[in-house]
Structure 1
């Protein structure tokens, strides 16, 4: 895989995840991909990840503002930067919550996904 293809691959994967087309999105993952989310929560599958988010919000999507790409040790790293928007469990909308997703690709597959965002912080402030 060449570096210019990496952002497109990640963008497609993220869109499939947002659309909950998890089987198709899973084809972008290596066999034992690490999916690490805020709080150090690690999932072994996209279905496990989706099930864990059901108590936080009704739905969430991403304004993917930009991608940063790097190469090291035969792997490609892609960072997606942007803003989350969606709906809390009570139906109240939210928007402009910053996020950064870091992906490590090897052989054209995602071997690591690290998710960082301010969703929990905003939820805490909202409930205070």
Structure 2
């Protein structure tokens, strides 16, 4: 059996996440995978990611426009997914055309890191995250 390309693997994972088939999507993650989201939030699991998103919007999906594949450190592979987000905010208002970029690091065919970047705060869909100083509860002065 031929293994899917790194981009095809990421695309399937993203589709499963959107469909909230989190158990199936989790099979694409390496043990200890890091799920890094805007505002410096790192989730230890897809269930934690979904729980955190529940207070941000009603639902969101991705129009996945392009993928880029590159070599990473050692045998790692990097996949970048670019596109736009659409969905409904907490008030039930539709939104679309919000840019996103997801950067994945794959090792041995599994996702070890997902880095999510998007313009949801700039579009007014979610609050602008308050920057935190690593290892502290202090908020830096603006």
* TM-score, length-scaled by structure 1: 0.93
| 1:68 paired to 2:68 | yes
Report if the CA contact (8 A) 1:63-1:84 is conserved. Answer: yes
Q: Which of the pair is proportionally richer in helix?
A: 1
The alignment yields a C-alpha RMSD, in angstroms, of 1.9
Number of residue-to-residue matches in the alignment: 125
Report if the CA contact (8 A) 1:101-1:113 is conserved. Answer: yes
Question: In the aligned structure 1, how far is the partner of 2:5 from the partner of 2:68?
Answer: 12
Q: 1:85 Cα deviation (Å)?
A: 0.2
Question: In the aligned structure 1, how far is the partner of 2:26 from the partner of 2:125?
Answer: 31
Q: Which runs of 4+ in 1 moved over 4 A?
A: none
Question: In the aligned structure 2, how far is the partner of 1:98 from the partner of 1:13?
Answer: 19
Give the corresponding residue for 2:124. 123
Cα distance change, pair 124–10 in 1 and its aligned pair in 2 (3 A): closer
Q: Report the structure number with the largest CA radius of gyration.
A: 2
| Local SS of the residue matching 1:55 | coil
1:62-101 deviations in Å (ceiling 9; x for gaps): 0000001001321100000000000011110000000000
Q: Which of the pair is proportionally richer in strand?
A: 1
Cα distance change, pair 35–96 in 1 and its aligned pair in 2 (3 A): same
In structure 1, the gaps of 5 or more residues are: none
Question: In the aligned structure 2, how far is the partner of 1:98 from the partner of 1:12?
Answer: 20
| 1:90 paired to 2:91 | yes
Give the corresponding residue for 1:32. 32
1:9-34 deviations in Å (ceiling 9; x for gaps): 00000000000000000000000000
| Local SS of the residue matching 2:7 | helix
Question: In the aligned structure 2, how far is the partner of 1:125 from the partner of 1:114?
Answer: 18
